[in-house]
Amino acid sequence: MPTTARATLQNEDERVRVIRWDFEPQESTGHHLHEHDYVVVPVTDGQTDVITPDGTVTTSQLRAGRSYARPAGGEHEVVNTGTAPLTFIEIELK
């Protein structure tokens, strides 16, 4: 079982929540459900495995500054499967 990555709340108001995630290799967000649409902005390059409740694993290559958006309702765990620390900013749109 991977250890948990560090989540640092950077800003929260009635419209958005901004969280910085810092992962060492093999650290994980833990299983979670996204209740809001969100945008992820990688700060560093890295590789993740996204694991859904049914056990499906999707490997992704993250590139610093190359953001992506996802709708609310996603349920998964994210694991840093790279060999270096990984950081990204998650912006939830309330």
Position 34 in a domain = yes
The structure tokens 């992704």 sit at 60
Between 1 and 17, residue with greater pLDDT: 17
Confidence of residue 2 (pLDDT cuts 50, 70, 90): low
The number of folded domains in the chain is: 1
How much of the chain, in percent, has pLDDT values that exceed 90?
A: 97
Looking up tokens 């992506």 gives 68
Confidence of residue 38 (pLDDT cuts 50, 70, 90): very high
Q: Average pLDDT, stretch 38-62? A: 98
Q: Provide the pLDDT for residue 5.
A: 96
pLDDT band at 7 (very low <50, low <70, confident <90, very high): very high
Q: How far apart are CA 43 and CA 40, in angstroms?
A: 9
Give the structural domain span for 59: 6-93
Beta-carbon-side half-sphere exposure of residue 56 (alpha carbons within 13 Å): 7
- Mean pLDDT score of the chain, rounded to an integer? 96
CATH number at residue 57: 2.60.120.10
pTM of the full predicted structure? 0.93
Q: Does residue 1 form part of some domain?
A: no
